[in-house]
């Protein structure tokens, strides 16, 4: 097990924030994870698992053992009836897994194409896009208990999935290190085209190509590239705030003032489009020093170069304050802060 001391993490987080870890270890297998846990305990330091770094904000240097997840491997576990069970190591790139499942004629992930990050991070966040969430195709995962080093299996009910939420962000935060994920996918394509923008683009492209999961995936990639900046070109962590949930009465009050309010039902409550709120508050495309909101998507905070974690956090708090003052709605940060 190779251990780096005072390791720079600038290239390990998509916001490009200057950060150093007291220790950095790369985990390529289960035993690496176990050894890293023992090492962290010996040094009396917390252990921080890190995937692609696409959903974290480093507020400063980390006096911790950072475990870079690199457990690889993809396989078809079984094909039963209408479903195919696939398994992936936590260190695999998420988008690569999506495209691989389509090549195996296993469907259900096409709407989740081009979401940055690794497979192990997907259930923590319960990633979602265009009407599909990870929980919709989740089968199970394996994780290492940080106290005992034992391997624990979690099924869907165990994970407590909710909107951008799971027990791994809540009651079991920092208790487990996810090492593998299983997904229950469909052998027959059932397109999920609930979003009008996506449906229109798919229908237009399908005039010249047969409708397929690959076509849907391609369109999702096109739409994401149009709306979201490439972290390799402009540092960011994608959507910085969750879409806030409010009551139906709050929606009615806001619609009376803002007829163009973007809101959609979520069970007994409603979700507001956080990007619309930020845009309407006059904060789309603004910049404060090295930090700003993206000119095409107000929900995305970007590092124009040279920003620190504190710069990003201060800017995000200013956005929250402006939106709350105007709409009476409190935004919640999506990425985790260390």
262-304 confidence digits (pLDDT tens) = 998 888 899 999 999 999 999 999 999 999 999 999 999 999 9
Q: Where are the alpha helices (DSSP H) in 146-302?
A: 196-205, 213-227, 248-257, 274-280
Q: Is 36 helix (H, G, I), strand (E, B) or coil?
A: helix
Q: So what's the pLDDT on residue 209? A: 85
pLDDT of residue 233: 92
Predicted confidence at residue 222, as pLDDT, reads 95
**CATH number given to 74-186:** 3.30.465.10
Residues 49 and 54: their CA atoms lie apart, in Å, by 13
Tell me which residues of the chain have a pLDDT lower than 70.
Answer: none
Domain 235-337 has CATH 3.20.20.220: no
Strands 245-246 and 269-272: antiparallel
pLDDT given at position 267: 84
Which residues are known to be catalytic?
164, 239, 334
Q: Do 143 and 175 contact (CB within 8 A), yes or no?
A: no
Q: Could you tell me where in the chain the CATH 3.30.465.10 domains are found?
A: 74-186
Task: Classify the phi-psi angles of 2: left when phi > 0, otherwise alpha if psi is within -120 to 50, otherwise beta.
Answer: beta
| CATH 3.90.78.10 domain position(s) in the chain | 235-337
Write the class of the CATH domain 3-69: alpha beta
The pTM for the full model equals: 0.91
């Amino acid at each position: 097990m190779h251990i780096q001391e005072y390791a720079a993490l600038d290239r390990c987080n998509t916001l490009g924030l200057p950060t150093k870890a007291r220790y950095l270890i790369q985990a390529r297998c289960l035993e690496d994870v176990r050894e890293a846990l023992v090492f962290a305990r010996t040094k009396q330091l917390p252990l921080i698992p890190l995937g692609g770094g696409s959903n974290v904000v480093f507020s400063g240097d980390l006096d911790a053992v950072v475990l870079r997840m690199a457990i690889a491997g993809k396989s078809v576990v079984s094909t039963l009836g209408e479903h195919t069970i696939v398994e992936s190591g936590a260190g695999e790139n998420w988008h690569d897994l999506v495209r691989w499942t389509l090549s195996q004629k296993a469907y259900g992930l096409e709407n989740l194409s081009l979401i940055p990050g690794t497979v192990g991070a997907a259930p923590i966040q319960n990633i979602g896009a265009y009407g599909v969430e990870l929980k919709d195709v989740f089968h199970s995962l394996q994780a290492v208990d940080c106290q005992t080093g034992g391997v624990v299996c979690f099924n869907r009910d165990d994970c407590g999935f909710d909107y951008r939420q799971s027990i791994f962000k809540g009651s079991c935060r920092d208790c487990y290190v996810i090492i593998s994920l299983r997904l229950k996918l469909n052998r027959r394509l059932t397109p999920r085209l609930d979003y009008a923008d996506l449906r229109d683009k798919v229908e237009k492209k399908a005039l010249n190509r047969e409708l397929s999961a690959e076509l849907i995936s391609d369109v999702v990639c096109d739409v994401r590239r149009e709306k979201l900046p490439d972290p390799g070109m402009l540092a960011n962590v994608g959507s910085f705030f969750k879409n806030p949930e409010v009551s139906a009465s709050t929606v009615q009050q806001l619609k009376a003032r803002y007829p163009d309010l973007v809101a959609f039902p979520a069970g007994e409550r409603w979700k507001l489009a956080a990007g619309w709120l930020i845009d309407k508050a006059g904060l789309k495309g603004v910049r404060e020093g090295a930090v700003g909101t993206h000119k095409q998507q107000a929900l995305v905070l970007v590092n124009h170069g040279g920003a620190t974690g504190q710069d990003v956090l201060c800017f995000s708090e200013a956005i929250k304050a402006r939106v709350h003052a105007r709409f009476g709605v409190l935004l919640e940060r999506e990425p985790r802060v260390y």
